[in-house]
Structure 1
Amino acid sequence: MSQSKPELIETLRVDADGQIPLLELHLERVARSCAELGYDWDAQTWLQAMHTALGQAPVNTPLRLRILWGADASAQAQANALPALEGPLQLCLSRTPLPAQDPLLSHKTTHRPWYQEASALLEKHPQIFDVIYLDTQNRVCEGSRSNIYIQDEQGQWWTPPAQGWLLPGVQRQALLNSKLVRETEISLEDLLNAKAIRVSNALRGWQDALLVQYPV
């Protein structure tokens, strides 16, 4: 990690009625990252930044709330209207693997150089929702903005395990807690032959998806 520590990111969905369904899981994740990375943590400061941003945001509409947390316990938050999104969501496979053993892979921070390819592609091709990454052993990991799931022939949903090489999303954790999803290693062949595919993140929930060709 560089001497200037990256900020921690939490991106939350605020429903039109003002409810934040996954708030407790967001708080748990940012607190855990602070403990593991040696950042100062103060939940009240984080929540105050959240409430200030919401007080300046549009009302009676879903919101995208983004909170940045610094190693020195500083917080910045911004809330904007969240546009509707129609599914199924289109995905493509990355041409480069995720780096092996990077300690920041399992934390949501502003240091995300491995997603530069995805950022450029998604900006150029807005019809693509996400880019799905494999690791150096050709195991399915995650998307640049979502976790991924496959359904087997028996109807069971599976997602790759969080073993230090993917970001454990809060929507993913909610699905695991509810027993709707189980963890297992997923190969590229498993993904290509899956009965169905879904992705999830805190903003969009759990959505049907399909693989498409890498755009040119």
Structure 2
Amino acid sequence: MSQSKPELIETLRVDADGQIPLLELHLERVARSCAELGYDWDAQTWLQAMHTALGQAPINTPLRLRILWNAKASAKAEAQALPALEGPLQLCLSKTPLPAQDPLLSHKTTHRPWYQDAAALLEKHPQLFDVIFLDTQNRVCEGSRSNIYIQDEQGHWWTPPAQGWLLPGVQRQALLNSGLARETELFLDDLLHARAIRVSNALRGWQNALLVQNPV
């Protein structure tokens, strides 16, 4: 890592009634990243930034709350209205694989160069929700903004294991904790022949999705 350490990102959904359903899992993840990356951590400072941003945000509407945390225990937060999203969500495949075992893959930080092309593609084609990445062995990894799940013929939902090469999303963790999803290695062929596909993130929950042709 460079001398200038990237900031840690947490993006939270705030419901219209002000509740933050996955707050504890967000706190656990950012604290874990701080411990693993050697960042200073203070939960009260993080929460104070969150409450300050919410105090300036619209009320009685779902919100997207983004909190940045730096290595010196300073936080910045902003909240804005979260527009509704109609499903099923459209996905396409990345043309480039994720880098092998980058130490920051499993942390949500402002250093995510492997997703720059995906971000540009999604901005150009707003009908797409996400770009799904494989590794060099054609294993399914994750989307640039979501975790991915496939349903087998028995109706079980499976998601790739978090083994240092994908971001362990908080909505993903909630689904694993509840038993609604399980971990296993998934390959491109599994994705192409899945009975059904879903994606998840903290903002949008667990949503039905479909794989479409890459836009030209």
Calculate the TM-score normalised by the size of structure 1: 1.00
Post-superposition CA distance 1:169-203 (Å, at most 9, x none): 00000000000000000000000000000000000
**Deviation of the 1:79 alpha carbon:** 0.1
* Secondary structure of residue in 2 paired with 1:171: helix
* Secondary structure of residue in 2 paired with 1:32: helix
* Secondary structure of residue in 1 paired with 2:171: helix
Post-superposition CA distance 1:83-135 (Å, at most 9, x none): 00000000000000000010000000000000011000000000000000001
2 CA distance for matches of 1:179 and 1:30? 23
Post-superposition CA distance 1:48-98 (Å, at most 9, x none): 000000000000000000000000000000000000000000000000000
* Unpaired segments ≥5 residues, structure 2: none
Structure 1 residue aligned with 2:8: 8
* Secondary structure of residue in 2 paired with 1:10: strand
Structure 2 residue aligned with 1:98: 98
2 CA distance for matches of 1:210 and 1:64? 24
Deviation above 2 Å: which 4+ runs of structure 1?
none
2 CA distance for matches of 1:101 and 1:89? 29
Structure 2 residue aligned with 1:73: 73
Post-superposition CA distance 1:17-73 (Å, at most 9, x none): 000000000000000000000000000000000000000000000000000000000
**Deviation of the 1:207 alpha carbon:** 0.1
Post-superposition CA distance 1:126-173 (Å, at most 9, x none): 000000000111100000000000000000000000000000000000
Structure 1 residue aligned with 2:45: 45
**Deviation of the 1:2 alpha carbon:** 1.1
Percent of residue pairs bearing the same amino acid type:
90
CA RMSD of aligned residues (A): 0.3
1 CA distance for matches of 2:185 and 2:29? 23
* Secondary structure of residue in 2 paired with 1:153: coil
Calculate the TM-score normalised by the size of structure 2: 1.00
2 CA distance for matches of 1:207 and 1:69? 28
1 CA distance for matches of 2:78 and 2:187? 38
2 CA distance for matches of 1:106 and 1:141? 11
* Secondary structure of residue in 1 paired with 2:77: strand
* Unpaired segments ≥5 residues, structure 1: none
**Deviation of the 1:15 alpha carbon:** 0.1
* Secondary structure of residue in 1 paired with 2:200: strand
**Deviation of the 1:6 alpha carbon:** 0.1
Structure 1 residue aligned with 2:116: 116
Structure 2 residue aligned with 1:85: 85
